[in-house]
C-alpha cells in the first residue's frame, strides 16, 4: 500500500513513519516545513511532500491508497487552530481522498470525542473538532476506520492493549503509549475486519496483533 501520513512531523506521526519502514508499505509523509523533510526521510519515509492543512494540499494524494490522518494543532494553540486543523483539515483530507480514489481512510481521534460537554473548557474545542470530524468521516462513503485512544505518553511500547467498540471507562482512563497507538494505526492498514468501524484503545493485556484481528 502507498500510505499518506498526514501529521507526519507530530509525535505519533513520526512513530508511524518509523513503523511503516518495517512493513511492505510505502510511506509518504506530509509536512509543512522544508526543514522537516530530511528528518522524515531519515526516519524511513519513502517520500516527503510539503503541504499546509490550512491551504490546498490535494497534490499529496497522488497515487495514494491509504490515508492516516494523525495531524493535530497541538496543546499550545487556540481554539481557532484546533478547528482549522483537527476539524477542517480532516474535512479537506476526506474530500481529497474521495477524489483521488483512496481505498482506506484511517482517522486518529480521541476517547473523549463523544463526550464534549464532560470535557474541561480548555479541551472542549478539541473534543468538538474530533466529534464533528469523525462524523464527517463516517458519512463520507469512504472505507474508514476511526481509532480513539485516551491520554498518550512517551513511555516505551508495551505491545499490549484493550480494544472495544464502545467505551468501557472514563476517557481519562484510556492511557496508552504513542508508540502503541502508532502500531495500532499501522496494523489497521488494509485490515478488512476494521473497515467501517470505530473503536477505543488503551493499555491492556492482549497483543496488538490479536486485538485488531478479532471480530467485534
Catalytic residues: 126
Looking at the DSSP bridge assignments, the partners of residue 27 are 3
Q: What are phi and psi of 85, to 5 degrees?
A: -90, -55
Cα separation of 40 and 22, whole Å? 15
74 Cα distance to chain centroid: 14
Question: Which 8-state DSSP code applies to residue 156?
Answer: P
- CB of 130 closer than 8 Å to CB of 113: yes
Cα separation of 157 and 150, whole Å? 15
Q: Look at the block and give the residue holding cell 508499505.
A: 25
Using only the alpha carbons of the chain, give its radius of gyration. Answer: 16
125 contacts: CB under 8 Å, gap ≥ 6? 79, 82, 83
Cα separation of 111 and 118, whole Å? 12
- CB of 73 closer than 8 Å to CB of 130: no
Range list of β-strands (E), 74-190: 104-108, 144-149, 152-153, 160-164, 176-177
Amino acid at each position: 500500500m502507498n500510505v499518506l501520513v498526514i501529521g507526519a512531523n507530530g509525535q505519533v506521526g513520526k512513530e508511524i513513519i518509523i513503523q511503516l519502514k518495517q512493513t511492505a508499505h510505502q510511506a509518504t509523509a506530509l509536512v509543512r516545513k522544508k526543514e522537516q523533510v530530511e528528518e522524515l526521510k531519515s526516519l524511513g519515509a519513502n517520500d516527503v511532500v510539503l503541504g499546509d492543512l490550512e491551504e490546498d494540499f490535494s497534490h499529496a494524494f497522488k497515487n495514494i491508497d491509504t490515508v492516516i490522518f494523525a495531524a493535530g494543532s497541538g496543546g499550545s494553540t487556540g481554539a481557532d487552530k484546533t478547528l482549522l486543523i483537527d476539524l477542517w483539515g480532516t474535512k479537506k483530507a476526506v474530500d481529497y481522498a474521495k477524489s483521488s480514489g483512496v481505498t482506506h481512510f484511517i482517522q486518529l481521534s480521541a476517547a473523549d470525542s463523544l463526550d464534549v460537554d464532560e470535557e474541561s473548557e480548555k479541551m472542549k474545542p478539541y473534543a468538538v473538532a474530533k466529534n464533528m470530524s469523525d462524523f464527517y468521516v463516517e458519512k463520507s462513503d469512504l472505507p474508514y476506520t476511526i481509532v480513539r485512544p485516551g491520554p498518550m505518553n512517551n513511555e516505551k511500547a508495551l505491545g499490549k492493549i484493550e480494544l472495544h467498540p464502545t467505551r468501557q471507562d472514563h476517557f481519562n482512563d484510556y492511557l496508552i503509549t504513542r508508540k502503541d497507538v502508532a502500531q495500532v494505526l499501522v496494523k489497521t492498514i488494509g485490515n478488512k475486519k476494521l473497515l467501517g468501524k470505530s473503536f477505543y484503545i488503551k493499555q491492556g493485556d492482549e497483543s496488538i496483533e490479536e486485538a485488531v484481528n478479532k471480530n467485534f
